[in-house]
Chains A and B, each alone.
Chain A
Amino acid sequence: MEVRVLFFARSRELAGASEATLSLQPGSTTAALMPHLLEQFPQLSELGTSFVLSLNQEYLAPGEAQPLKAGDEVAVIPPISGG
């Protein structure tokens, strides 16, 4: 199954794209997101742990395992500090 990933700010620069499609095993949970993302975009490891993940526009706590379904939308949101 496929989920859509949106990259914001620094994550977009690191991934080199504003969005991507992630192919996951049916029945995968959100716990599988980061390992797959890092496999597809190893540069994202530069973000460390300082970013927020959202699933269908809702905050996803680190390490949380919610069921995913095809067509879900995930966003990678690192903080920005400029002004």
Chain B
Amino acid sequence: MSSPPGALEQELERLRAQNAQLQAELDAVRGVQAGAAPPVAAAAAAQEEPPAGAANGAACCRPVAAARDWDGLQHGLDKDQIARYSRQIILHSFGVQAQARLCRGSVLIVGAGGLGSPAALYLAAAGVGRVGIVDRDTVELSNIHRQVIHKEATVGMHKALSAAEACRALNSSIQVETHLEALTPANAVQLVRQYDVVVDASDNAPTRYLISDACCAAGRSLVSGAAIGTDGQLTVYCHGEDGPCYRCLFPEAPAAGNCARCVDAGVLGVVPGVIGTLQALEAVKLLSGVGDPLSRRLLVVDCAAGRFHSVKLRARSPNCVACGAAPSITTASLPSYDYAAFTGQAAANDAAPQPLQLIPREERITPAELQRRLASQPTAVLLDVRPAEQFNICHLPGAVHTPFKHFDRYVEAIQERLAAAAAGAAAAGQAAAPPAAEQQQQQDQQDQQNGSADGLQPQPPLYVVCRRGNDSQRAVARLRQLGISHAVDVVGGVEAWAREVDPSFPLY
């Protein structure tokens, strides 16, 4: 992505945008059609036998309505559907009526990422009549290791459109709807109401609370899955008479520091694959009425240990603000609820955190300036405060690894390093005192305009770099607290270095 796009790429980009536009228009038309028919409530769909004539409703999305009333059986499936779903239709515990309910059912999948990928594919394959996909992001190369619904060829495309394309390729007989806007308090309830079951495949805490609240308000069962690192969680919320909601279980939002995101903490690709697949299973169970939904049970998975731990949950809390006896979060109040304030974090998806401005801009340097100074300052010390996993991918030549997580442990080593560099410079100065060294000293003194040296022997220049320029500022601030006040941080971190200085530096 760092090289300027060639004519071919530009053309490809133009065609993708055009395609996305056409797809959105098509989906808008389809959405109007779908909206005309009121959705069947999940519980009703699961428990009632299909009423006579339901077959027509089931076939509404299909161009060829070849269903016949086979000797009064009234399941409404046509020959193609029976052939396609035969292996689960002949399953003793499933059967033709369960398949018919699935074909009449609808699911809203919020998030076409690591969880949404297998969920959408399996639900489309299983024959869910109408699958809605919400995502506002576009596909990036770093998504594909886990977001297996997307392809190299759809990098840069809207995730919802890329996912819909894959679902249609798998099963052209179902209806796939795309929603290219983020789920917001303003649109959530109205969107959730259009579907029988909701799958939470989102990737952040504010969206998780929003989806749960919207499902409480709209009376929809919610299949909630989450994955990070090698950990996963799965449960069904807001189900039946007494199923709890997300807030019943976690009334207080976790501190932002405990909400690791895939972009920062990493995730083993298969882990959301496991959880997203189980979400599809739960959605199939809810729509078909087969099996026991994972309501009032929380499945906690430690994939590294190979441990599946199931915890029995309580019934919904009467005091819950969303699903209790006197909820304060309702269809009326939800649109004005401030989820960012409640969770202390924005609903940013797999994206970079906001740039921090902890150190005044004039006391920071650009990567280009860092390059210039490192070339002219042989005694300079460069600290890299990224975690080991990232430092070991690639780092700047000569960078000293002092991870921010345990930064204080490294302070002594930093001081020793500075002393050694200073001694080396002094020795070099005594030995030859070349003009370059004088220049160096002048430069060093310039660098110490904020320094603590107070006329003492100039310290070797000290630079701090991280991934994007936030932790490096925190490290510089910490160094100042500890009396090392001449440290300078690099704006934008190694990502900016890769963009502005060395395009061969790998991004991750």
Binding site for B on A (CB under 8 A): 6, 8-10, 12, 18, 46-52, 54, 57-59, 61, 75, 77-83
Contacts and interface: CB of A to CB of B under 8 A. Distances in A.
A77 B302 contact: no
B116 interface: yes
7 contacts: A54-B311, A57-B312, A59-B314, A77-B300, A81-B202, A82-B226, A83-B111
B260 A10 contact: yes
Do most interface residues of chain B lie in helix, strand or loop, or is the interface mixed? Answer: mixed
Interface string B41-53: 0000000000000
Contact of B262 (A49, A78, A82): A82
Contacts of B233: 9, 77, 79-80
Contacts of A80: 226-228, 231-233, 260
B300 A47 contact: no
B255 A46 contact: yes
Contacts of A10: 254, 258, 260
Contacts of A18: 302, 304-305, 307
Contact of A77 (B114, B261, B298, B305): B298
Contacts of A61: 314
Contacts of B258: 10, 46-48, 50, 78
Given A18-B305, A46-B255, A82 B311 contact: no
A1 to B, nearest CB: 22
Interface in B109-124: 111, 113-116
A46 B257 CA distance: 9
Interface stretch (B88-96, B215-223, B245-253, B280-288): B245-253
B358 interface: no
Contacts, number: 113
A18 B304 CA distance: 10
A82 B260 contact: yes
Interface in B265-297: 265, 267, 272
B385 interface: no
B203 interface: yes
Contacts of A75: 300, 309, 311
Which 8 residue pairs spanning A and B have beta carbons closest together?
A82-B228, A50-B254, A83-B203, A83-B115, A54-B311, A9-B231, A81-B205, A80-B226
A58 B311 contact: yes
Contacts of B469: none
A58 B226 CA distance: 20
Nearest to B312: A58
Contacts of B229: 9, 82
A83 B226 contact: yes
Most A C-beta atoms less than 10 A away, residue of B233, B255, B261: B233
A61 B310 CA distance: 16
A16 B232 CA distance: 18
B110 to A, nearest CB: 9
A82 B265 contact: yes
A79 B203 CA distance: 12
Contact of A9 (B201, B208, B228): B228
B204 interface: yes
Nearest to A54: B311
A83 B311 contact: no
Nearest to B266: A82
Interface string B289-329: 00000000010101011010111111000000000000000
Interface string B380-417: 00000000000000000000000000000000000000
**Which of B114, B200, B254, B309: most chain A Cβ within 10 A?**
B254
A78 B228 CA distance: 12
A68 B231 CA distance: 28
Contacts of B312: 54, 57-59
A9 B259 CA distance: 10
Nearest to A77: B300
Given A48-B252, A81-B226, 10 more contacts: A9-B233, A10-B258, A18-B304, A46-B258, A61-B314, A75-B309, A75-B311, A79-B233, A79-B250, A83-B225
A57 B228 contact: no
A45 to B, nearest CB: 11
A52 B231 contact: no
A78 B254 contact: yes
Contacts of B228: 9, 80-82
A38 B252 CA distance: 20
Contacts of A9: 228-229, 231, 233
Contacts of B259: 81
Nearest to B116: A83
A82 B261 contact: yes
Nearest to A61: B314
Nearest to A79: B250
B300 A8 contact: yes
A11 B229 CA distance: 13
B346 to A, nearest CB: 13
A8 B116 CA distance: 23
A18 B305 CA distance: 8
Given A61-B314, A80-B227, A52 B257 contact: no
A82 B250 contact: no
A20 to B, nearest CB: 14
Contact of A50 (B200, B231, B252, B298): B252
B144 to A, nearest CB: 15
B311 to A, nearest CB: 4
A61 B231 CA distance: 23
